[in-house]
Structure 1
Amino acid sequence: MTARGITGRLLAAGVGALAARAVLRAVTASPRAATLERTNFRGRTVTLAAGPAFSVGAAVAGALDAPSRPAAAAALVAGIGSGSVGLYDDVVGARPEQKAAKGFAGHLAALRRGQLTSGLVKIAGVGAAGLGAAALLAADPDVRCRQPRSTLGRVADVLLGAGVIAGTANLLNLLDLRPGRALKAGVLLGAPLTAGRSGGLAAGPVGAAVGLLPDDLDERVMLGDSGANALGALLGVAMAARTGPVGRAGILAVVAGLTAASEKVSFTKVIQNTRGLRELDEWGRRTS
């Protein structure tokens, strides 16, 4: 990467961090900030304001350093779209009548009873955001040159891209069970993606993650569905922008495998029982 490219990535990361911090201050100072207060796993009162703060800050910063206008639009659609439906689920899903439905099967069962749950709205919204972002990426010159020539092949490639974006959004959400865990995973996954032509798409989210990490580790804020979905969706856009059909299919297979494994195995238990992962997970977190 050239010096100019490195400077651009650092600038995008800085914008992401500053924008996320600015939105966090604005949300926590708003009259409705109390509706975002929740109790974390240790009984501490935290705010979900980090979710919309990350969603807006990371999406805008990623779009500013995107390699093309279609890629910039894809970042905005994925980040703000996934973050918005995640925020809806964070707020509406806390209502007593919404808490009974658990998992995808639970949401479908509720729908058969005539109840549209906030979780199902989130699932559909993240999927729609992923599809919209993948369709926009298809207009990026660098992505278009890697697509199949046939119409059917291009449609399949867009669907694979949508799967990568929506699947990664869901996967990062599964990690948001302990302070700083999802943000650390986002930084580790996103840092290598900052190289290359489409690296700006990842630099903004990485910067926003670093900017919010201290507050998350100190148990003052939580990402919630809003921030975790936006983090995963934006990294999904960064991965989809640099791969063709084979690469997207491979990423989707890994994401799907990890998601399926989460139904059988607790990620938290695996992390706690694995040296290295346990120390990384606990790094920087308050002990009392």
Structure 2
Amino acid sequence: MPAARRFVTAAAAAVATRALQRAGTRLPAPITEALARTNHRGEPVTLAEGPVVALGAALAAAAFAAPRRTAVAAAVAGLGSAVVGAYDDIVGARPEQRADKGFRGHLLALREGRVSAGAVKVAGVGVSALVAGTVLGASERRGPLGAAVDTALAATVIAGAANVVNLFDLRPGRALKVSLLAAAPLLGPGRDGSAVVASAVTGAAVAALPDDLGERSMLGDAGANALGALLGVAAAARLGRPGRALTAAGLIGLMAASERVSFTAVIARTPALNTIDLWGRRPAAPAPAAETATETAAETATETAAEIAAPAPTPAPAAAPTPTPAAAPAPAVLPARGTAAETAAPAAMAAAGSPGNEPAAEAPAADSSAAEVTAAPTSPRTGEPGPGAGGR
């Protein structure tokens, strides 16, 4: 395939995408409202990017790809995936549909007697992929069994690519970057039309990237499924039976992994992938003032708790008060048991502050507080400060 043809295809896809983007700003109010969404910053975005990219890429591929079977397969897979993806974007946003996510959610909805918008999308992508796979192998001379195997593998590659690209549409620009990276190895020359289809994907993705990274619009299922399906057509047209089988297995593995592993977490932990993912994106939004105040209060409370829990320095033992002559006890003369002196002895000892006896009068409040601070109770089992010491 001449390089000029690929360049013209990419340019045509980019020009068509930009023209459709401008036309999308003049859509009727009901359509604009149906495509309006609010992103993670609380800012308005539109899903119009998806149909725009799908049309720009699919029409350019259908116009310039050769042989014609590749052009027809691209039109069927790209536009078919875009239509059912747009249905899921609009109907799937309804409150009763929001829980029906992933294959498990679609199956649970079917068991409850409901057909989720996602199930409609999966079925529609599968049917369009099967038709496209049949078209790709229409002119090849094989036996019935070989034709069935090749068609099934091509359909699996197309449907799998459509779904996998959609799995990456979770951050601004990510699905478009994945599409560009996947299209790069398919841009090499060949006579199967795959390079032209990949060029159409490249041109449309480049044209849509600024608005997507600027968080003014987003692909949604319509755009992500369409770009993935077109890449699947290019791969199926380029690869033979072994290559289709390996690609189909890899795509199925990614879809299975997505049910258990977060691709976003994997990208964040991989420096090279994280760098590519963050390229061109707007900086993260600063934390709201209320959230910042809450974090500051939490930090202050933590520091205060640490200060309270820290063991207080042990005060130096106070010097024993010098007894005054009036409080000094008289020389002890042990009285005989049962005498009047024995009855008067406890009162004299209480007046002198003798330990082991309760005071005759209640101690002042200040003395009681000082005693509590100086001698914090300890837990009888662990030896840790008890409830009164501020550690628990």
TM bucket (normalised to shorter chain) is over 0.9
Distance in 2, matches of 1:187 and 1:59, equals 15
Any conservation in 2 of the 1:41–1:178 contact (CA below 8 Å)?
no
Amino acid at match of 1:20: T
Q: How does 1:220-259 map to 2 (within 5 A)?
A: 220-259=216-255
Which consecutive unaligned segments of at least 5 residues does structure 2 have? 286-392
Distance in 1, matches of 2:91 and 2:260, equals 28
Any conservation in 1 of the 2:85–2:222 contact (CA below 8 Å)?
yes
Q: TM-score, normalised by structure 1?
A: 0.94
TM-superposed CA distance for 1:95, in Å, is: 0.9
Any conservation in 1 of the 2:165–2:228 contact (CA below 8 Å)?
yes
Distance in 1, matches of 2:67 and 2:143, equals 24
Amino acid at match of 1:285: R
Distance in 2, matches of 1:64 and 1:108, equals 38
Determine helix, strand or coil for the equivalent of 1:100.
coil
Per the alignment, residue 56 of structure 2 pairs with: 57
Question: What number of residue pairs does the alignment pair up?
Answer: 279
Whether 1:88 and 2:87 are equivalent positions in the alignment is yes
Any conservation in 2 of the 1:172–1:232 contact (CA below 8 Å)?
yes
Per the alignment, residue 3 of structure 2 pairs with: 6
User: Structure 1 residue runs of 4+, over 4 Å off?
Assistant: none
Per the alignment, residue 121 of structure 1 pairs with: 120
Amino acid at match of 1:44: E
Determine helix, strand or coil for the equivalent of 2:11.
helix
Q: TM-score, normalised by structure 2?
A: 0.69
Structure richer in helix, relative to its length:
1
Structure with more relative contact order (C-alpha pairs < 8 Å, separation 6 or more): 1
Per the alignment, residue 19 of structure 1 pairs with: 16
Any conservation in 2 of the 1:172–1:228 contact (CA below 8 Å)?
yes
TM-superposed CA distance for 1:100, in Å, is: 2.4
Q: How does 1:199-278 map to 2 (within 5 A)?
A: 199-278=195-274
Amino acid at match of 1:250: L
Amino acid at match of 2:87: Y
TM-superposed CA distance for 1:67, in Å, is: 1.3
Distance in 2, matches of 1:194 and 1:42, equals 37
Q: How does 1:159-238 map to 2 (within 5 A)?
A: 159-195=152-188, 196-197=190-191, 198=193, 199-238=195-234
Per the alignment, residue 136 of structure 2 pairs with: 137
Pick the aligned partner of 1:154 from 133, 138, 147: 147
Larger Rg: 1 or 2?
Answer: 2
After superposition, the CA RMSD in angstroms is 1.3
Distance in 1, matches of 2:196 and 2:24, equals 26
Per the alignment, residue 275 of structure 2 pairs with: 279
Distance in 1, matches of 2:265 and 2:54, equals 28
Determine helix, strand or coil for the equivalent of 1:123.
helix
Q: Deviations over 1:60-110 (max 9, x none)?
A: 111122112211111111111001100000001111111122221221221
Amino acid at match of 2:62: A
Same amino acid, percent of matched pairs: 56
Whether 1:74 and 2:70 are equivalent positions in the alignment is no
Any conservation in 1 of the 2:102–2:259 contact (CA below 8 Å)?
no
Distance in 2, matches of 1:93 and 1:275, equals 34
Any conservation in 1 of the 2:132–2:233 contact (CA below 8 Å)?
yes
